[in-house]
Amino acid sequence: MLENKVVVITGGTRGIGRQIALGFAERGAKLAIIATGESKQTFQTIEELKQNCSEVGLYLCDVKSPERVEEAAKRILADFGHVDILVNNAGITRDNLLPALEISDIDDVIDVNLKGTILVTRAFIRSFVKNKCGNIINISSVVGLMGNRGQSNYAASKAGIVGFTKSVAREYGKKNIRCNAVAPGYIQTDMTEVLDENTVEQIKQSLPLGTLGEPADVANLVFFLADECSRYITGEVIKVDGGMYV
């Protein structure tokens, strides 16, 4: 049961993160949404969440900044009293072939995707230990498992999340803290909307299930991992990829 659970979601106002947030709200959870900055979409999502959520807060935070992450975590714990579930979803892409990648393309992707996941988890882990309970769900990518042309920086960041997930699961399992990762394949979000029709069709033909996934496909797995019905699962990386990597 997820009713009245306090859930922190990074990158929770767009794409997969938005779908995860809306689903938790429908299930009666209380939400602390961490977003990078203010935008029309950010506030639209927050207003939509408030229609189904008894308590929702927006916390603007650059997840690659240790100081700002710690500050946001303190505010969330002060506002909600505790946190039950952490979903590290914030992520970006800067795709290009390796020689064409700018140093900033490498730094930004590693800092947001991997460092951000580490910093946010680090900020809440003491609270989980204190409460002798916690559930961490990291959004990785199938690309972090199999690699992909033109995404060496992204693949490295998502592969790092896999290793981080398994390490946290080993470190804190005896404290009743679980840590798992979800690895989406091609999901219909703003990240895939930049692809032309021919590329999308080629991708579909390469997938055993023959279609792109939807944000809800990823969110449904997150809800399973967040629920007590998955209480004996930790340190796992579960793909949602239509058979892209089998």
Residues that are catalytic: 154
Distance separating alpha carbons of residues 212 and 145, to the nearest angstrom:
18
> 30 has which bridge partners?
6
Distance separating alpha carbons of residues 199 and 9, to the nearest angstrom:
31
> Which amino acid would we find at residue 126?
R
> Which amino acid would we find at residue 55?
E
Q: b/e for 38-73, b at 16 or more Cβ within 10 A?
A: eeeebeebbebbeebbeebbbbebbbbeeebbeebb
CA dihedral 241, 220, 40, 194 (to 10 degrees): 10
How do 6-10 and 237-240 pair as beta strands?
A: unpaired
Distance separating alpha carbons of residues 136 and 164, to the nearest angstrom:
11
Question: CA 123 → CA 6, 103, 119, 140, 188, distances in Å?
Answer: 15, 27, 6, 19, 31
Distance separating alpha carbons of residues 184 and 240, to the nearest angstrom:
5
Tokens 């969440």 locate to 49
